[in-house]
Chain A
Amino acid sequence: METAFILVVTALSTLAAALAARRRARRSLRSAMGRALETIGLGAVFLCVNIGLGFGLILLVRVVTGRFASLYKNDDVTILAVSMLQALVFQWWREPEER
């Protein structure tokens, strides 16, 4: 039920956005989706790097200081949002400037 509800709501908002943006669109939908997938892919790369780096740092702290540091520190869901934010900034940074 929740699955259908979410899919219907997002389908409706997507339809509304598509109708509103149709006349102002400056690139094809295919190209836009390709760029969106690039950003998501970049977010996945940032997420893997962040998690890997987090594990490495925690293990390093354990080895160097002999003190306990929990690997679960790396398990917070906000790391996903921050990784996507990194990807967005990085993606816009490497795009050519708009005139």
Chain B
Amino acid sequence: MDNAVLKERILGLVPDAEYQENKQFLTFIIPPAKMHELAFKLKSESDLAFDYLFCLTGVDMVKFLEVVYHLESTTHQHQLELKVRTDDRVNGAVDTVCDIWRTAEFHEREIFDLLGIRFTNHPDLRRLFLEEDWIGHPLRKDYVDEVNIVEL
């Protein structure tokens, strides 16, 4: 399915998705409440069939926290990029997609560990890399560590 048709399809499923210009992938910004439902439809509908989540990233844009999903379909060979944003830096929460794509389980734990974004309904949300009693989330832009990190 080429990008124009895919764009119509996604906007049909989630009308308030915001299209973003991107040279490489077809990118949409999805409101957090609609993400889980859209993800389920993306995987289950046979002409979309996005069954391979190949990258799940968390980004700290200072005004908001963002979770970026890169999806691909192994049958139709089309790709998609979705972003979900949350303004709340203390308790920001996004719906988990690990019941749809099992790879998200570990990736979401990593994002929680390093950026502090919570995922509701995740089966086992705890820190992955750092110790259980580590304070702070290192990949945030406001993470301060005078000993180790050199500010030039």
Do the two shown chains form a genuine complex with each other?
no
